Amino acid sequence: MSGTTPPPPSAEAVGTEACFFPGYKPFKPEEHGLERGFRCKVPQEALLKLLAGLEKDQADGTGKAEDQASDFGQQLPGPRLGVGMDCCVIPLRHGGLSLVQTTDFFYPLVEDPYMMGRIACANVLSDLYAMGITECDNMLMLLSVSQKMNEKDRERVMPIMIQGFRDAAEEGGTSVTGGQTVINPWIIVGGVASVVCQPNEFIMWNKIKLVVNKEEVKEAYQEAMFSMATLNRTAAGLMHKFQAHAATDVTGFGLLGHANNLAAQQRNEVAFVIHNLPILAKMAAISKACGNLFNLVQGTSAETSGGLLVCLPREQAAKFCSEMKSQSSGAGGQGAPGGAWIIGIVEKGDRRARIIDKPRIIEVPPRGSQAASQENHSSSPAPSPNLS
């Protein structure tokens, strides 16, 4: 990993045949007793058995430290995370800080060496990002050069892969300061990412399980999946029946982003003011526990195949919601429980949308739950607002 940094590959260089791993025989997992799809991954059950000895207090059940160093480490304050998770979290001796570290590597997935280097780096950093950590202090690169490559191909291909790895690291605000390079039958690329941070800078299941249990997470996942798979056709039909003024679907820009787009297209000088936010049950609490990672309550959290944001006459809004709820129940629960909600008002303004400082969170229960059944039998909302 020492020496001068190779120049960034030009479009011509990356596009030439010589840069697509010439003469390299791809690793085939089925030839080595692995299922296709695992690539170089050891099956999870086998991996946990192999690594059982690394988990203190679990290998022999004695709970005794094997040496003073490991015993001292266990006495340090702060959260600790080890085998089986995205990263290891180790409390340090000084200032209540923790070392968060991860490593990963694999065989080539694509033919372009520059892109393979970038993918490998992004994959390593992703383990930090999965814990809500946005900064990385240092990276090491792990590289195995195939012994089946001739010297000319090796000298052309490997620097480009290294450059891709380094470019991705720089994009992530960090740098590659070293690593290890070996000769192997197959090309292997990966690395190590490390960061020292305070406990409030990373997110662990310990924080989330204070506000939700695993069963509630599973129910929310199922509800999100069914909701994304539900067509907005019923709502589109009811827009005609209840004289809708305008509408848009809520997707990648989030509720507030698409509301802003819709408000900007209005002929009259109006503004959308959002008072209520329908959110899957427990998800607002999880968002808060995660440090508001995706701006869910701020309305800019991206959605995939979301619902419709519909502008209705004031006197029709509650009727629209009531019929959506009725048709949702009659369809065997194919729509989200309740179907539609009144979320705000249209008033004179500057063709923009906003969410009030403390919006009311409407906890949308998963279909089939007791809370969903009670909601389906409740009365319709008051007909004062006209944004649903």
- Whose tokens are 């690394």? That residue is 54
Burial (CB < 10 A; 0-12, 13-18, 19+), residue 40, is middle
Q: Which of 345, 355, 365, 343 is nearest to 295 (CA)?
A: 355
Q: Select which of 19, 40, 88, 136 is catalytic.
A: 40
- Label residue 93 left, alpha or beta by phi (over 0 means left) and psi (-120 to 50 means alpha): alpha
- Residues near 249 by beta carbon (within 8 Å), at least 6 away in sequence: 232, 258, 306, 307, 308, 309
Could you tell me the two tokens for 145?
């050069």
**Cα gap 299→354, rounded to integer Å:** 9
Q: Is 40 in the active site?
A: yes
Q: 113-129 vs 151-171: helix axis angle to the nearest 10?
A: 40
CB 250 within 8 A of CB 187: no
φ/ψ of 124, rounded to 5, equals: -65, -50
Catalytic residue ranges: 40
